[in-house]
Chain A
Amino acid sequence: MSSLPLIDPTASNRPRRTRTNWIMLSVAILVAIVMASPFLLLVLNAFKTGADYSAHGPLAWPTTFTFDAFTSYLARVNFPLALWNSIFSSTIIAFAGTGLALLASYAIGIGRIRARTAVTAVLLIATMVPHEALIYPLFYGAQATKTLNTVWSIIIVFTILWAAYGTYILSSVMSTFPREVLEAAAIDGANRWRILWTVVFPIVRPTLTVLVVFIFIWSWNEFYIPLILLADPASQTVPIALSTLRGQHSIDITVVNAGSLLSLIPTLIFFLIFQRTITRGVTAGAVK
């Protein structure tokens, strides 16, 4: 990184760490601390007793470490079930959505079907439409198909919504695909279905991985549609289960903190595992 030759007379061949450098670094670190401080406060207060919290406030170090708040949260919310609902639904949505996107983008990017520009525009609409404009009919649709209050309602909805976004990304990747490779495979007698899986799939796999990871996170965090479609606690995902604590004024703030902490741990673990993929993926939509 530090190989740029600097001609500035005050600098040596390698950029020297001046006082300004350290000040700038401090600024960047300070921003990081500000960004992280809500989490630090959360951890600090999730292990306190309610009495300790009311006596010393949120900024004090706990007098004793206790798991009371966690036990109390687990008594109110069936967290293992919510965790399972989240894992189950997000996993299916991630793979099904990416699969649908792969098929559709094959038609648009490689098949170059007529009206592909119009199709892409329609898909963009799907990713932009506010969920408010869909929710009431979706609610009745879920009721009619008996999927209301089951994770299948959100699985169906989000598989399609994210597949539309994925198709948009993937078809632009595929439209740059070298035609000769496809033609060579066709001459070897491979039909379309085989070309998709033996030629195209291996090449777009890195992008597919990014999509799976992202759709998983987005589905996990979705709030509005699950809030409406999953009113029954047995079907709720982690964020929705947590939000049922809203408005329960009798509840200890330490319990809310413990619940929040429990709810963000899976996300954090996922983030640590897939950090590279995620950084790569954030930019996938921005790269043209």
Chain B
Amino acid sequence: MPSSTALTRRPIDRRASYWLYLLPLAAGFIIVVAAPFVMNVYTSLFHWKGGQAPMRWAGLENYIALFSDDTFWRSFQNTLAMIVAITVVPTIIGILLAALLFDYLGRRFGDKAIAVLRATYYVPQILPIAVAGFIWAWILDTQNGSINLALKGLGIMSPPDWLGNPDIAIYAVMLMLIWLQIGYPVVIFMSALQRVDPELYEAAELDGAGWWRRFQAITIPQIRPEIFVVVLTATIAALKVFAPILILTGGGPEESTTVPSYYAYRNFFELSRVGYGSTIATVMSIVIFVVATVMLVWQHRENRKELS
């Protein structure tokens, strides 16, 4: 799509003709994202079994039903657990590991050793989630799981039923997600640390600041923008978690590990309640947009405060 030279010569159209370059993506966006999303919202206003079945107007009935749906609230509560497992814990461990590798070990044991360690932490991130799910379902298995066999080897004769006990399953899922996630903050924070001026650390050391003090006073404030990015992207990922639940627990036992995306999936493809599934998906989207907007606005304000 060459932009015509005739257009570039006319000053009024100068900016406008750039729209041609945006056109392919814009068209694709309408077909793949905007239209489907609008249809999803529309469907959420109907009782519908999907396919050729008749669509019965429901108005806001699905939304009202959602409010008193225990499973939905349960799934929402589990989302908080997902945020802990994907955002909170990996970010904290990630900062500590990154600082340990970069600032502490890097100076003493060389870059190569550090690069290998970092790569090892990161591998779960590039793994197909289906594969990761299978491995963990098997590791956590009650009878033949490696964890329980190891525990038995240590003399614990009745190890926990990781994925079968409704009180424990969510923690087992969280464990897997922490493992999956950790590499991401480590890599981001390590690269963030590279742009910190070493003189800051030198000056602090001159003043007699120990490692922990330097960590608090230099490392954390210096990599704040990256911490923000990690928290934002991880939180959105936590609100969307699906595959690990499908593969590890199927939402069970007794719905103890159901998350909104999995609950929507069940309504769509197992319970034939497409209208209701669309309602869940719409509410999920709204929550994600609101959370993201609040976080972005908040970050914007923080940045301003720092400048003034």
Binds A, one of B58-66, B105-113, B164-172, B212-220: B105-113
Decide yes or no: A239 and B129 within 8 Å by CB, A35-B121, A257-B138, A283-B191 being known contacts: yes
Interface string of A98-118 (1 = CB under 8 A from B): 001101101110111110000
A12 within 8 A of B: no
Q: Is the CB of A104 within 8 A of B289?
A: no
Q: Can you list 7 A-B pairs, Cβ within 8 angstroms, ordered by A?
A: A100-B24, A136-B277, A156-B28, A167-B25, A193-B2, A253-B138, A283-B226
Q: How far is the CA of A141 from the CA of B118 in the complex (A)?
A: 42
A181 within 8 A of B: no
Residues of B106-141 contacting chain A, CB below 8 A = 106-111, 113, 116-124, 126-132, 134-136, 138-139
Shortest B224–chain A CB gap in Å is: 11
Q: How far is the CA of A145 from the CA of B15 in the complex (A)?
A: 35
Decide yes or no: A29 and B119 within 8 Å by CB, A104-B25, A136-B277 being known contacts: no
Shortest B229–chain A CB gap in Å is: 4
Decide yes or no: A223 and B121 within 8 Å by CB, A114-B15, A137-B40, A243-B130 being known contacts: no
A129 within 8 A of B: yes
Interface string of A29-71 (1 = CB under 8 A from B): 1011011101101100000000000000111000000000000
Decide yes or no: A136 and B146 within 8 Å by CB, A4-B202, A15-B108, A221-B128 being known contacts: no
Q: Which residues of A sit under 8 angstroms from B132, Cβ to Cβ? A: 38
Q: How far is the CA of A19 from the CA of B65 in the complex (A)?
A: 62
Decide yes or no: A25 and B109 within 8 Å by CB, A160-B32, A193-B3 being known contacts: yes
Q: Which residues of B sit under 8 angstroms from A178, Cβ to Cβ? A: none
Q: Which residues of A sit under 8 angstroms from B105, Cβ to Cβ? A: 21, 24-25, 28
Q: Is the CB of B108 within 8 A of A130?
A: no
Q: How far is the CA of A257 from the CA of B146 in the complex (A)?
A: 13
A203 within 8 A of B: no
Q: Which residues of B sit under 8 angstroms from A204, Cβ to Cβ? A: none
Contact of A278 among B126, B198, B264 (CB under 8 A): B126
B72 within 8 A of A: no
Contact of A35 among B100, B179, B202 (CB under 8 A): B179
Decide yes or no: A267 and B22 within 8 Å by CB, A130-B239, A160-B33, A260-B134 being known contacts: no
B150 within 8 A of A: yes
Residues of A188-238 contacting chain B, CB below 8 A = 191-193, 196, 217, 220-221, 223-224, 228, 238
Decide yes or no: A6 and B205 within 8 Å by CB, A32-B120, A130-B284, A282-B187 being known contacts: yes
CB contacts between A and B, total, < 8 Å: 295
Q: How far is the CA of A131 from the CA of B265 in the complex (A)?
A: 10
Q: Is the CB of B247 within 8 A of A246?
A: yes
B84 within 8 A of A: no
Q: Is the CB of A256 within 8 A of B134?
A: yes
Interface string of B5-36 (1 = CB under 8 A from A): 10010000001111111101110110111011
Q: How far is the CA of A136 from the CA of B18 in the complex (A)?
A: 34
Decide yes or no: A42 and B135 within 8 Å by CB, A133-B40, A133-B285 being known contacts: yes
Decide yes or no: A224 and B242 within 8 Å by CB, A128-B292, A129-B285, A132-B265 being known contacts: yes
B269 within 8 A of A: yes
The residues of B with any CB-CB pair to A shorter than 8 Å are 1-5, 8, 15-22, 24-26, 28-29, 31-33, 35-37, 39-40, 43, 50, 97, 100-101, 104-111, 113, 116-124, 126-132, 134-136, 138-139, 144-146, 149-150, 153, 179, 182-184, 187-188, 191-192, 198, 201-202, 205-206, 225-226, 229-230, 233, 236, 239-240, 242-243, 247, 260-261, 264-265, 268-269, 274, 277-278, 280-282, 284-285, 288-289, 292
Q: Is the CB of B139 within 8 A of A38?
A: yes
Decide yes or no: A136 and B274 within 8 Å by CB, A103-B25, A191-B5, A239-B129 being known contacts: yes
A-side interface size class: 35 or more
Q: Which residues of A sit under 8 angstroms from B119, Cβ to Cβ? A: 275, 279
Q: Which residues of A sit under 8 angstroms from B26, Cβ to Cβ? A: 104
Q: Which residues of A sit under 8 angstroms from B230, Cβ to Cβ? A: 286
Q: Is the CB of B146 within 8 A of A107?
A: no
Q: How far is the CA of A25 from the CA of B36 in the complex (A)?
A: 51
A92 within 8 A of B: no
Q: Which residues of B sit under 8 angstroms from A24, Cβ to Cβ? A: 100, 104-105
Q: How far is the CA of A275 from the CA of B21 in the complex (A)?
A: 32
- What residue in chain A is nearest B182 (Cβ atoms)? A35
Q: Is the CB of A264 within 8 A of B284?
A: no
Q: How far is the CA of A131 from the CA of B17 in the complex (A)?
A: 33
Q: Which residues of B sit under 8 angstroms from A193, Cβ to Cβ? A: 1-3
Q: Is the CB of B100 within 8 A of A286?
A: no
- What residue in chain B is nearest A246 (Cβ atoms)? B247
Interface string of A120-134 (1 = CB under 8 A from B): 001111101111111
Q: How far is the CA of A138 from the CA of B16 in the complex (A)?
A: 32
Given contacts A103-B24, A191-B2, 12 further A-B contacts (CB under 8 A): A32-B121, A35-B182, A41-B139, A58-B138, A58-B146, A104-B22, A128-B236, A137-B35, A160-B31, A239-B130, A260-B134, A283-B226
